[in-house]
Structure formats: structure tokens, C-alpha cells
Amino acid sequence: MKLGRMNHIGVATPDLDAAIAFYRDVMGATDITEPFVLESQQVRVCFVNTPGESGTAGTQVELLQPTTPDSAVGKWLEKNPLGGQHHICYEVPDIHAAKAWFEKLGKRVLGEPRVGAHGTLIFFVHPRDMGGQLTEIMEAPTHEH
């Protein structure tokens, strides 16, 4: 497996609308997607698009608000009530090959690949196996599957 582009940093928040206002009014973000609910992960989500260099796409900030307190993000916010960095996401060309790679190395893959907020397949790797950071692996959006 080869490390791909960092697609986004997931930031959990107890109030998505307040987080959007913060990125717009304090951080100067001008490109923020419309929020939508991702039922499969029980979150309301949107993306803050950061500028890239030389025509490339910048890394996104994925803002996540749980739709229920017993969701994974809801439980995380219970321990971190102010919110903050929840996960980091890297792109790979082949999600199934990446999953096999991490499992071969003995890393704890959390569940089977499933459709994420970008509409491509994702999975997470346990933070205890990733230097303390919950890591999302995402099939690159341009990859046909």
C-alpha cells in the first residue's frame, strides 16, 4: 500500500451551525458545502474546502455533528464536549487492497468498507494501531468501483 493524498480532517462539533459560522467568520472560509445528514453514520456533515496550490484541491475540514448521542461521534463528544479533531482521512486507489494491507499488519480495521460522506467506500483503523489517531481510509473519489 502507498500513502495517498490527505483528503480531510474530521472535526466533531456539538453545534454544526456554530462551527460553520466559526470557519466562515473567524477563519475566513469562503467555500463551505451545504450540510446534509449521513444516516449510516448518524451525523450531520458538511465540508469546509481549503484552497490548494497550483490548481490542486486543498485538504477539506469535515465538520461532524451527531444526530443521536449514542452514535460514534456522539459518544466521542461525550468525552470531548467542546469538540475537536476526531479523525484524519487518507485516500487510496483500492479500498479492498488497503483493508487487506492493514489487516495483514495486524491493525484493527473497524467494520467493513461502507459508503462515506464523499460517496466512496471508506473504513476506519483503530487509533491504538495508528499512533493514537483514528484514521479513515477512503477510496479516492476519481476511482471507479
Q: Which residue in the block uniquely carries the three cell numbers 487518507? A: 90
For 68, phi and psi rounded to 5 degrees? Answer: -150, 140
Question: Which residue, among 138, 141, 139, 10, has the nearest Cα to 72 in the 3D structure?
Answer: 10
Residues with a catalytic annotation lie at: 136
Chain-centre distance for alpha carbon 51: 18
- Cell, residue 79: 468525552
CA-CA-CA-CA torsion for 23, 72, 69, 86, nearest 10 degrees?
-30
Say how far apart CA 64 and CA 121 lie, in whole Å: 18
Q: Residues 73, 74, 75, CA angle at the centre, nearest 5°?
A: 90
